[in-house]
Amino acid sequence: MILKGVDVKKVYSSNNGLHGINFELNSGRIIALAGGNGAGKSTLIRLLIGEEEYDSGELQWEDGVSIKYMPDDINFPPTLTAFEILQLLAHLKKLPKSSVEEVLKRVGLWEHRKQHVRQFSKGMRQRLNLAQSLLGDEKLLILDEPTNGLDLLWIAELKQILQEQKELGKTILFSTHLLSFAEELADDVLLLHDGQILMNGSLEEVLSQEKADHLEELFMRKIGLIRQQNKKY
Ligand SMILES: Nc1ncnc2c1ncn2[C@@H]1O[C@H](COP(=O)(O)OP(=O)(O)OP(=O)(O)O)[C@@H](O)[C@H]1O
């Protein structure tokens, strides 16, 4: 297990956030952190990468976990080229120059490496964002809504890229509100709703336990139940 979350609580003044969640993330898996708007996905990611402190509870990390993060948006310096940006990052991390070429080729930006980032489309910026997250050999790769701005071809390519990263021995956690995407890619799922966990475990187990064919069906069923319960009180 790479991480165990015990009663992790982070509540904002709005009374929203994460209300004491318990979960387990297993190593070497692709994990979907799924849920609708305001479910608490970004909040959890901020706690995992240490950008924010939790109010109470505990994150019990396996020894020596290093994290690489792909934010949902990066403001790259607009006057630098894609190559210059990645070269700078590789230099800071003492990575070989060849790693820059490798990741730029993998995200289809090698031909555009000499272009300034301000000329990039949203999808190209997102692929550069993905490329920076692929530089290095951190054990855990956390991606915040990685499909944002990607077209159908690149969403398919993203799935392959993340599978390749898993084959390299990494653990991958990605957030999404697209349950079909989560289902196509993930081994495990952590499904949040209103700062609570609806489901956590292997996708196969979760679906068979709940006798559902798809995550969406299961999600709608659970949400329906929650709404009914709330009506009663
Ligand atoms: N800094 C903050 N101050 C107050 N409330 C916050 C803050 N950050 C998040 N929240 C609230 O916490 C809840 C969870 O937000 P979060 O951004 O984690 O959800 P999310 O699952 O990432 O949603 P989305 O898919 O819309 O990005 C929301 O109700 C949000 O309004």
Q: Say if ligand 1 is within 6 A of residue 10 CB.
A: no
For 96, half-sphere exposure in the C-beta direction (CA atoms, 13 angstrom radius) is 5
The two structure tokens encoding residue 71 = 């934010």
Fold of 1-66+139-202: Rossmann fold (3.40.50)
Q: Which residues of 180-195 are buried (b: 16+ CB within 10 A; e: fewer)?
A: ebbbebbbbbbbbbbb
Give the domain ranges of the chain.
1-66+139-202, 72-137
Residue 91 CB burial class (10 angstroms; 0-12, 13-18, ≥19): exposed
- Statement: residue 233 has pLDDT above 60: no
Q: Report pLDDT for 173.
A: 98
Q: Say if ligand 1 is within 6 A of residue 41 CB.
A: yes
Residue 38 CA to ligand 1 centre (angstroms): 5
| DSSP 8-state assignment for residue 151 | -
Q: Say if ligand 1 is within 6 A of residue 12 CB.
A: yes
Spell out the residues 6+ positions from residue 86 whose beta carbon is closer than 8 angstroms to its own: 100, 103, 104, 128, 131, 132, 135
**Strand 196-202 to 188-193 pairing:** antiparallel
Q: Say if ligand 1 is within 6 A of residue 38 CB.
A: yes
Residue 36 CB burial class (10 angstroms; 0-12, 13-18, ≥19): middle
ipTM of the complex in this document: 0.97
User: In terms of residues, how long is the chain?
Assistant: 233
What pLDDT digit, counting tens, does each position of 85-121 carry?
Answer: 999 999 999 999 899 999 999 999 999 999 999 999 9
Question: Per DSSP, what are the bridge partners of residue 227?
Answer: none
What pLDDT digit, counting tens, does each position of 142-190 carry?
Answer: 999 999 999 999 999 999 999 999 999 999 999 999 999 999 999 999 9
pTM for the whole structure: 0.95
- Statement: residue 73 has pLDDT above 90: no
Q: Say if ligand 1 is within 6 A of residue 5 CB.
A: no
- Statement: residue 57 has pLDDT above 80: yes
Alpha carbon distance 150, 125 (integer Å): 10
Q: What is the DSSP track for 53-78?
A: --SEEEEEEPTT--EEEE-S-----T
In percent, the amount of the chain with pLDDT more than 90 equals 91
Mutate to test the pocket of ligand 1, among 43, 73, 144, 177 (most ligand atoms within 8 A of CB): 43
- Statement: residue 208 has pLDDT above 60: yes
